[in-house]
Chains A and B, each alone.
Chain A
Amino acid sequence: MDEKPRRTPDDHQRVEPALNLRGEPARFAHTNPDPEAIALGQEIAVGEADVRSAEQSEYVRGTSLWRDAWRRLLKNKLAVFGLVVVIVITLASICGPLTIKAITGITPDYIPSNDVKRIKSFPPFTGVSGEFSWAHPMGTDNAGRDLLARVLQGGQISLFVGIISTLVSLIIGVSYGAIAGYLGGRVDNLLMRLVDVLYSLPYVILVIVLLSMFRSQTPRGQLALLFVALGSVSWLTMARIVRGQVLSLKNQEFVLAARATGVSTSRIIFRHLVPNTLGPVIVYATLTIPQVMLTEAFLSFLGFGVQAPLASWGSLASDGVQNIAIFPWQLIFPGVTMALTLFSLNFLGDGLRDALDPQMRTD
């Protein structure tokens, strides 16, 4: 992005703009031929110049892409709502399980011993003998584990999967797309044809085959496998977006200048081109997170993803579906939490797109 020459407020050698900020032609005192009007004109000109310099310095400070985008984002009520919900749920997921442990001594995988069997599958806010109680605000699951603690721990894993897989897709997709776009020609053709082929594969089906065949004995091993599977398929669109951006940037003067001064190809790609694609990349990455989380939940729901005692919103929903007729809260709490998070992330992503790249707006 070619930046406008920045002017600081203490820049005395300011060039007068042909048009002022209101779009009117600037009036210069010395062009006024009437001698009587000169004094008046100068006074007006001085006054205007003062106003203009104040306005202009504000304008100059405001032109930073990120500050501008942030201001536009804050104007979008739905995006702000999304941002707040995402922050609240993230904080709750990080601190929640520890807080619950500190207050009640219950961990997400704590299963009560056999003599307190009656606490299994208890409704929200209900104690052992059916009275109102704060012990389990979301009730318990069918092994007697506290559902609130599990939903929050599930949030940790769901958000973690979403963010890590998105980072993997960022690293692979951005470098792949930038290299294909900058080198062009035969390399580009080959690399993008490969993306086309991969695009047309039923990848979720292949991921299911991968996860079921290499089913790990440990829950952590399965989680690692899930990262590999999700990260390796989610970079395709990112590669296409970055390639498109690089194609439109690579013939601009700053790249020519870099090449003329002998900057190496890899340095041009990663220090000059990639930083300039950041806007669309951030927007798409924000929209990738809910997609990956949804895929993870889908796989966990089918039993191929996160395994007990670990929990994700998908695996909790899968457990909840078994008892939907008798204990509906076991599905509703993780399901609604997940839907709310995805809803907020989608709104945040849309808001970011409108803020960072107003031309991409659909309205």
Chain B
Amino acid sequence: MLRFIIKRLLVTIPTILVVITLTWGLIRLAPGNFYSSEKKLPAAIEKNIREKYGLDKPWYQQYGRTMWNILRHLDFGTSLKYQGQSVNTIIRRSLPVSASVGILAYLLALVIGIPAGSLAALKQNSKWDYSSMAITMLGISVPNFVLGPILVLVFALSLYWLPPSRWDGVLSRNIILPVITLSAVYMAYIARLTRAGMLEVLRSDYIRTARAKGLSEANVVIHHALRGGLMPVVSYTGPALAFLLTGTVVIEKIFALPGLGNYFIQASLNRDEPLIIGIVAFIAITLLLMNLLVDIAYAFLDPRVRYQ
């Protein structure tokens, strides 16, 4: 197990370097510059700008300096558009917004998706099963940028129950609509995965044994079936995190939340190179570590899984 973790971590570090290099390369290969969107600058001023940001040096020196700062001090530099703010400050400020919306959305999806999926599996081929599967298919098919505005239209602009947008801290009513909008897709996926996993487990021998021992149905389901039936949900957590990260990009745009995704879109539009690289690297690191954690959790939950 330890060997597996070390091996995976050793693969993770080059992967992150590849991601950073790829991002850097994409930004540099593209025509234009971060100051080129403004009106044509006088030659002397352009020369000054190039000198200030080290753009007059050869490309390998610029690349080397960027990488060195990142590897040595985890320093992604200063944002080009948000003057005087380091990338690390921006990430530290915007991360809690994205993380709280994302985590709450995933928790909500688990809380509703798992019982719904289990019930559908326990009452297979019933009306309940068919209707919940149709609803989850709807959840998968309605894009969150359509669902979000429609929820705003109904609950904020027609019924006046909830505020339509803006961030006001985790413990405010503002967070309700973004969380519901973001969690809809995951709820649907988790319900379907739970149903599939439970259907497989409910047919297995150890469930028959548990029933034969005379355990109550609730005991069988909660203590025996759920543990095996939830394995697909556990392995879905890795990819789900990736989609949560991209999902928050849209959610933050719709609800005007000052999160990581919103800053990333702004940085991409502004060609704010240090901020783009910083956010991409941060997302890649989070993603890879979460995937590793999921694999480790998998081995602990399912004794049949062994890693070399």
B217 to chain A, nearest CB (A): 20
Q: Closest residue to A339 on the B side, CB-wise?
A: B142
- B268 in contact with A338 (CB, 8 Å): no
- B152 in contact with A324 (CB, 8 Å): yes
B101 to chain A, nearest CB (A): 17
Q: A59 to B260, alpha carbons, bound, how many Å?
A: 61
Whether A343 is near chain B, meaning CB under 8 Å from some CB there, is yes
Q: A363 to B18, alpha carbons, bound, how many Å?
A: 41
* Binary CB contact string for chain A from 330 to 362 against chain B (1 if under 8 A, 0 otherwise): 011001101110110011001000000000001
Whether B66 is near chain A, meaning CB under 8 Å from some CB there, is no
Which A residues touch B249, using CB under 8 A?
A: 208, 302
Q: A343 to B153, alpha carbons, bound, how many Å?
A: 22
Whether A49 is near chain B, meaning CB under 8 Å from some CB there, is no
Which A residues touch B245, using CB under 8 A?
A: 202, 205
A239 to chain B, nearest CB (A): 16
What is the interface of chain B mostly: helix, strand, loop, or mixed? helix
Contact residues, A246-301 vs B (CB, 8 A): 290, 294, 297-298, 301
Q: A297 to B143, alpha carbons, bound, how many Å?
A: 8
Whether A54 is near chain B, meaning CB under 8 Å from some CB there, is no
Contact residues, A46-60 vs B (CB, 8 A): none
Whether B291 is near chain A, meaning CB under 8 Å from some CB there, is yes
- A200 in contact with B30 (CB, 8 Å): no
Which A residues touch B276, using CB under 8 A?
A: 209
Q: A338 to B138, alpha carbons, bound, how many Å?
A: 12
Which of the 9-residue segments A27-35, A175-183, A210-218 touches chain B? A210-218
Q: A178 to B200, alpha carbons, bound, how many Å?
A: 30
Interface size, A (range) = 35 or more
Q: Closest residue to B277 on the A side, CB-wise?
A: A209
Whether B287 is near chain A, meaning CB under 8 Å from some CB there, is yes
Q: A335 to B18, alpha carbons, bound, how many Å?
A: 37
Q: Closest residue to A300 on the B side, CB-wise?
A: B145
- B30 in contact with A362 (CB, 8 Å): no
Which A residues touch B153, using CB under 8 A?
A: 324-325, 328
- B143 in contact with A346 (CB, 8 Å): no
A209-B280, A362-B199 as given contacts; A332 in contact with B150, CB under 8 Å: yes
A358 to chain B, nearest CB (A): 15
A343 to chain B, nearest CB (A): 4
Q: A314 to B146, alpha carbons, bound, how many Å?
A: 9
Which of A200, A317, A318 is in CB contact (< 8 Å) with B287? A200
Whether B149 is near chain A, meaning CB under 8 Å from some CB there, is yes
Which B residues touch A200, using CB under 8 A?
A: 15, 287-288, 291
10 sample A-B contacts, Cβ–Cβ < 8 Å, listed by A number: A204-B246, A205-B279, A208-B264, A209-B26, A212-B271, A331-B149, A339-B146, A343-B137, A346-B140, A363-B196
Report which B residues bind A (CB closer than 8 A): 11, 15, 18-19, 22-23, 26-27, 29-31, 124-125, 134, 137-138, 140-143, 145-146, 149-150, 152-153, 157, 195-196, 199-200, 242, 245-246, 249-250, 253-254, 264-265, 268-269, 271, 276, 279-280, 283-284, 287-288, 291
Q: List 8 additional contacts besides A324-B157, A339-B142, A363-B195; criterion CB under 8 Å.
A: A201-B19, A202-B280, A212-B268, A297-B143, A302-B265, A324-B149, A325-B157, A339-B141
